[in-house]
Structure 1
C-alpha cells in the first residue's frame, strides 16, 4: 500500500522528507511535486523502480530520463558545461526548464547505461519547488525522473494532487502530497549544438 504523505509545499516537514528518501534508498518509486507538475522519481541505483516505470509508461529502453539536481555544481559534474551553457543555466535555474547537455566523461556508469543505451547527452533539471529541493538535499545525489504520462493519455493532469493520487497512487510507494502545484510541462533547451535551441516551450516559456 502506497503512503500518501501530506507535506507543506513551502516548509516541508523533515520527517516526511526523510521517510520518502528512505523509500528511494530502498529502491522505491516516489511521486514528487515540482514546479512543473508532479513527477515520478527514483534513486540512481533504483533499477527495479526504473523497470516499473518502463512497464507503466510502456517506454522503450532507450528512453532518456531526466536527472533532477540540487545545484549547478552538481550538474557540472554530470555534463560538460561551456561558458554559454553555464550562463544560460544560471539565468534560468532553479526553474521549470530541462537542459539537454553533452554528457561528462565522468558520468557514472549507471547513469550512462540507463535504458541500456550509451548516453552521449543527458537531460538535467534544477526544480524550483521546496519539496523537490529538500528531497534532493536529503538524498545527497541526483534523482532520475520522468513525467506522468500513461500510454492512454495525451494531456495528463499532473499538477492537481487529487487527480495525481487517483491515477498514480496504486503504482508507487510514496506520494509527497504538497497539494496542487504549477502545471507543466517544462521548457526544453538543447545545448548540444552550436547555439542553444528551445525545442519545447513549456507552461512558462523561456528565451535563450
Structure 2
C-alpha cells in the first residue's frame, strides 16, 4: 500500500493536522533532538503494525513510547524514587528509561514486543513536545527510516526512505544531537542498554557504576540488533591509512587528506551531530560496491555512542 505523504510545517495548522492523522491511526514523522521518529498512537495496535510494516522492522524489536513528562510516563510504567530522580535530572532530553510496565498502561503489545517492561522517553524538541500535547497521549516513535539503515536527522532523509509509506512528515529542521537516545534499564540494577545522546559518565555520576546489557537475538530495547544504521557501502573502522578507492572519513587533526570528517577539531558533540549525514554523504561518494573507512574515534563520552553506531554499520548484513 502506498500513501501520499504530506509535508507539514510546525505551525498551529500543521500540528492540528498531524494530531488528527495520529488519532485516525496514521503515521507522522516528527523531529526530536536526537533523530526523526516515526510516530503513531502507542495505544492503537493497527497504527503500531503500520510502523513495523513501513520500516520493515522485526516485531521482536520493541519501540520507545514518547511522553510529555513524568506525569504521562507514570500512567505507562512503574516508577520508584530512583527512576523519578533520574527523570528529573535528564528529562526532557536524550535519555530513554526502561521500567516495569503498568498492568493498566493500555499500550499495544507491539510497543513492548510482549515484554513486561516499557521504554519511555520525554523528548526535548519543542515540535515533538507540541505534537505530543496536541495529540494528548503517548506516541511510539522509532527512527523514521527503513529498518537497519542510516537514521534520519533531516526531514529530507525521512522522505527519501519512507516517502509513500507514511502519512506525513512534520518538518522541524535538522536534529541538534544527531544520534539516538541513551537507553538505561532501571527495572533492576542500572544497566546501559544502548549508548546515546547522554554520556554514560553523566549517569554514573548520579547512580554509581552502570552495567552493560542488551541481547541482539532477544532485544529488550531498541538499537541492539548487530547490524543497524547501515549504508549501502561496506564500512571499515579504526583506519589511519585508507586503501585505494576507499572514502576516508576523518576525525580530528590526524586525518589530513580525508574526503570527509566527523569533526576536524576532534569535537565529539560535533561528530555525533554530523554522524548520520556524513554516513549518507560517504555512501553517495563510495557508489555501488564501494567502501567507507572511518578514522578512530575515542571511546569516551559521546564517542561511545558514535562507535556503537559505527560498529553496527560495519557489521555483516543479515
Checking the alignment, whether the CA contact within 8 Å between 1:161 and 1:180 is kept in structure 2 is yes
Q: Which one of 164, 181, 189 corresponds to residue 186 of structure 1?
A: 181
Distance 2:6 2:54 in 1: 19
Distance 1:30 1:196, change over 3 A: same
Task: Report 1 or 2 for greater relative contact order, CA contacts < 8 Å, sequence distance ≥ 6.
Answer: 1
- 2:36 aligned partner: 38
Shift of 1:42: 0.5
Output the aligned Cα RMSD: 1.9
TM-score normalised by structure 1 residue count: 0.87
- 1:3 aligned partner: 6
- 1:10 aligned partner: none
Checking the alignment, whether the CA contact within 8 Å between 1:112 and 1:119 is kept in structure 2 is no
Q: Which one of 37, 53, 56 corresponds to residue 55 of structure 1?
A: 53
Query: Which of 1 and 2 has greater Rg?
Result: 2
TM-score normalised by structure 2 residue count: 0.58
Specify the SS of the correspondent of 1:138: helix
Q: Give matches, 1:1-208, under 5 Å.
A: 1-7=4-10, 13-108=11-106, 111=107, 113-114=109-110, 118-151=114-147, 153=149, 156-182=150-176, 183-193=178-188, 195-206=189-200, 207-208=202-203
Shift of 1:92: 0.6
Checking the alignment, whether the CA contact within 8 Å between 1:24 and 1:46 is kept in structure 2 is no
Deviation sequence 1:81-138 (CA, Å, 0-9, x none): 1101110111010001111111113222xx1522695331000000001111011101
Deviation sequence 1:32-72 (CA, Å, 0-9, x none): 00011100010134433322222233333332111111110
Distance 2:43 2:136 in 1: 13
Distance 1:77 1:143 in 2: 13
Checking the alignment, whether the CA contact within 8 Å between 1:40 and 1:147 is kept in structure 2 is yes
Distance 2:86 2:111 in 1: 28
Query: Between Structure 1 and Structure 2, which shows a larger proportion of strand residues?
Result: 1
Q: State which drifts further: 122-131 or 73-82.
A: 73-82
Distance 1:82 1:99 in 2: 12
Ranges in structure 2 where 5+ consecutive residues have no aligned partner: 204-318
Specify the SS of the correspondent of 1:34: coil
Specify the SS of the correspondent of 2:49: helix
Q: State which drifts further: 90-99 or 45-54.
A: 45-54
Distance 1:85 1:144 in 2: 20
